[in-house]
Amino acid sequence: MKLKIRNWVVWMSFVVSVLEGVRPIPDPIEVFGHDNKNDIKGTKWAILVAGSSGYDNYRHQANVCHAYQVLKGGGLKDENIIVFMYDDIAHNPLNPEPGIIINNPNRTDVYIGVPKDYTGDVTTAQNFYAVLSGDRSALSGGSGKVVDSGPNDTIFIYYSDHGSVGSISAMPVGDSVFANDFIEALKNKHAAKSYKKMVIYLEACESGSIFEGILPNDLDIYVTTSSDSLQNSYAYYCPGSDPSVPPVYTVRDRTTSSPVRQYGDTNMGNDFLATYIGPTPILYENTYSFEPSTTQTTLISQRDANLLHLRLELEKASKGSEEKFKAQRRLDDEIAQRDHVDNVFNLIGDFLFGEKKNSMMLHRPSGQPLVDDWDCFKTLIKTYESQCGTLSIYGKKYTRVFANMCNVGISKEQLKVASLQACLNKNHAS
């Protein structure tokens, strides 16, 4: 029996597709396969990326650390696993268990042994592209590891972040990884004949927008995303959910309320898991089956996870304490900032679209790319940010607006004027 790659993604990041339904994890022999004559004989490579920083984004680095443990257990060598993570979680003052990162209420430490390839200020889009292409000369800092792959090798890319329409991530540092640039990097990798097959799993809000209508199906690449191009992804194992964790944690993502999607060469869904993650995975005690729960589960939108974190900080602070005052102020600031963002985009809609401002969030038909002119898309985002400040995690819910501006011919100059009028406080991050 061969299991489709989408079920392998369930194993890797505990994402459950609503299209497939919820089912028990199968027998390991069936999952990983043992038919050696069908296995690719080249080297197995992996790039693992946590696209955020900050303790309130704990879950993204926890996901990446867990993915590393699965790959390491599958027999991949550290020299072939390249990790991008800001690395400000394990030893964060807010971490109740210093030096430990968990990915499950059972509290198995997934941080142990994780390579520190690209951390802190070198977690950039530039380094991500350099690693993918195998171009050491383009690196800036870090371990120097790149995917130095050949024509018989496989590559697995796992990316965990908030996401936004048209870009995977802002990366912890610097510019975003935009869809067209990422696809171009994949095309160049294919043209260089430096892999046999590639699997990409993207776990982020509206993640289908990265590949919809622009990823060719002849690159020997299979992609699955935690959401389509329209919907959020959701955080799981949050305090108050079932199963729950102590209030100090917001741990992992599990997809049950947004539609998982496939792109690229979907025929690769018949491949054995061993082809990409090795034949001898460690079966962690926390890899239990996903049988339907009889208890209502609370899911938190990725973009609201920080709000939950701030509310929990306020709840646990002692009454009348300085910590209580600071926690209340941080929560109030976050709510005010979100209101500010909503008001700004509402005003920009009035200025540029008038009575037709509902078209700002228009969704294109399935199969069409988000935008016709990607340079315009990136230019308008930069134009807005030059007037209103860098888009926040919450503000990125509006990136579709910039795509639709490009699609109807709104110019950089028009947006600059509208943004200047809408953003009364130029330095207020949005």
Residue numbers annotated as active site: 162, 205
CA contacts within 13 A on the Cβ side of 254: 20
276 with 149: CB under 8 angstroms?
no
Q: How many residues does the chain have?
A: 430
- Closest C-alpha to 77, from 233, 271, 278, 251: 278
Q: How far apart are the first and last CA of the chain?
A: 50
Distance CA 378, CA 399 (A): 10
Report the distance separating Cα 213 and Cα 370, nearest Å: 8
Token pair 């002849």 is found at 218
Q: What is d(CA 91, CA 146) in angstroms, rounded to the nearest whole number?
A: 27
DSSP output for 357-416: GGGGGPPPPTTS-S-S-HHHHHHHHHHHHHHH----TTGGGGHHHHHHHHHTT--HHHHH
Cβ of 240: how many Cβ atoms within 10 Å? 11
Q: What is the DSSP letter of 81?
A: E
Which residue in the block uniquely carries the two structure tokens 């990316």?
159
Q: How far apart are CA 96 and CA 321, in angstroms?
A: 20
Q: How many angstroms separate the CA atoms of 186 and 303, rounded?
A: 28
Tokens read off for 16: 């459950």
Phi and psi based region of residue 187 (left: phi greater than 0; alpha: psi -120 to 50; beta: remaining): alpha
DSSP β-bridge partners for residue 252: 236
* Cα separations in angstroms, 155 against 131, 180, 195, 350: 12, 20, 7, 46
Question: Do β-strands 234-236 and 300-301 pair in parallel, antiparallel, or remain unpaired?
Answer: antiparallel
Interatomic CA distance for residues 228 and 370, integer angstroms: 12
Indicate if the alpha-carbon torsion angle 322, 323, 326, 327 is positive or negative. Answer: negative
